[in-house]
Amino acid sequence: MSRVLQNYGNQVTQGYHSSHHGIDLIGSHGGTDYVVAHSAGTVTAAVSGYGNRQGSSGMTAYGNYVDVTHTDGSFTRYAHLQYVSVSKGKKVNSGDVLGYMGNTGNSYGAHLHFEYWNASGVRSDPTPYIDADLPGLNSSTTANSSKAKAEKETKDITKVVVKSVEGSTAQHSTGNLTDTKMLSAGVEILIQNGDKIMLPCVKDDITLESHRKGSPAVLKFSCVKDSNLNFQEGNAVSLRVNKANVFYGYIFEKKHSSDMPVIQVTCYDQLRYFKNKDTYIYTNKKYSDLIRMLVGDFHLALGTIEDTGYPMSRAEETTLFDICGNASDETVLNTGKVLVQTTW
């Protein structure tokens, strides 16, 4: 468990001492992770553009870093980030992603350097607060809620389990998953393969897990194999509960049971792909062209996207989120137009 890393617990690699006024952390699996805000506040520094500067001192030693100032005037600092994904002035909640762990500034291997500065501007050892509220910033409202709070933090997943849905054998029709004619009450899963929509016979539980904000949701179900059911990895899937669309994503994996005519299916929403790291080198493409290219490469659905003008050439090796973000920033800088991203 960690309040400063998104997916892993923290492993402290260097504690607080007279010449190190913070603590160094890596993920409990020994690697890097997204760095998240320890507590709610406002981003008061978001510094990027630094590479590795071993041996440097002063502010450049921090490399790329973010400060989050909390309601009592204290702040937390997150340093050596590979990249920063927030900008100054942004309000963040506890757990919101600030950037990705890195090796910028005076750093010898990717880690997070985390500092706590009290309201008087004095640093102290953040170790006691690493998985707890900062002093004087108790976000709990009732006296005995610390246990409940701890439980909430370890289970930072909302899981919806739909118990044993009884489906009928697969039916199929032609249309689109967004077609309202397809809606009926109850719980149903629809799969679209080409122009065919199938309603598979779902067996046992349907689980929908959604992690923190900005993380992909995972939908898992099993369905009975029959002659009408024909779908592939990559097909679009929708889960509807009482006519409301609660999940829309893509089939990521299909597993067949050896002894039963049952297929276990795992689906992710589109965000999953945008967390992938990839290398994209492109020349003379507009931001809108880039989005079309990524969406095409990952077989994602795209709404309408306006021509953004301003062709650019870039080489990127990072997450799709950042590939898009960087292209968007460059376009905004050069056209003065603020881009509104279409929902995907």
Tell me which stretch binds Zn ion (CB under 5 A): 91-99, 107-115, 178-186, 223-231.
107-115
Task: Give the C-alpha separation, 32 to 100, whole Å.
Answer: 8
Q: Residues 2, 5, 10, 24: which binds Zn ion (CB under 5 A)?
A: 24
Number of residues that bind Zn ion (CB under 5 A): 2
For residue 38, the minimal CB distance to Zn ion (Å) is: 16
Nearer to Zn ion, 77 or 113 (CB): 113
The residue whose two tokens read 């960087």 is 326
In the bound state, the residue with its beta carbon closest to Zn ion is 113
Nearer to Zn ion, 36 or 79 (CB): 79
Tell me which stretch binds Zn ion (CB under 5 A): 20-28, 62-70, 88-96, 117-125.
20-28
Residue 115 within binding range of Zn ion, rule CB under 5 A? no
For residue 7, the minimal CB distance to Zn ion (Å) is: 21
Residue 269 within binding range of Zn ion, rule CB under 5 A? no
For residue 107, the minimal CB distance to Zn ion (Å) is: 8
Residue 203 within binding range of Zn ion, rule CB under 5 A? no
Task: Please choose, from the candidates 273, 271, 268, the residue with its C-alpha nearest in 3D space to the C-alpha of residue 298.
Answer: 273
Residue 3 within binding range of Zn ion, rule CB under 5 A? no
Nearer to Zn ion, 3 or 113 (CB): 113
- Assess contact for 235 and 246: CB atoms under 8 A: no
The DSSP line for 164-216 is -----S-EEEES-TT-GGG--SSEEEEEEETTEEEE--EEEEEEEEE-STTSP
Task: Give the C-alpha separation, 60 to 83, whole Å.
Answer: 15
Distance of CA 288 to the CA centre of its chain: 22
Residue type, 331: T
Alpha helices in 223-286 (DSSP H): 271-274
Nearer to Zn ion, 112 or 201 (CB): 112
Task: Give the C-alpha separation, 36 to 53, whole Å.
Answer: 23
- Residue 108 main-chain phi, psi, to 5 deg: -120, 65
Tell me which stretch binds Zn ion (CB under 5 A): 17-25, 127-135, 193-201, 205-213.
17-25
Q: Residues 113, 172, 203, 285: which binds Zn ion (CB under 5 A)?
A: 113
Nearer to Zn ion, 26 or 206 (CB): 26
Nearer to Zn ion, 24 or 316 (CB): 24
Nearer to Zn ion, 107 or 238 (CB): 107
Task: Please choose, from the candidates 284, 282, 279, 292, the residue with its C-alpha nearest in 3D space to the C-alpha of residue 314.
Answer: 282
Residues forming the site for Zn ion (CB under 5 A): 24, 113
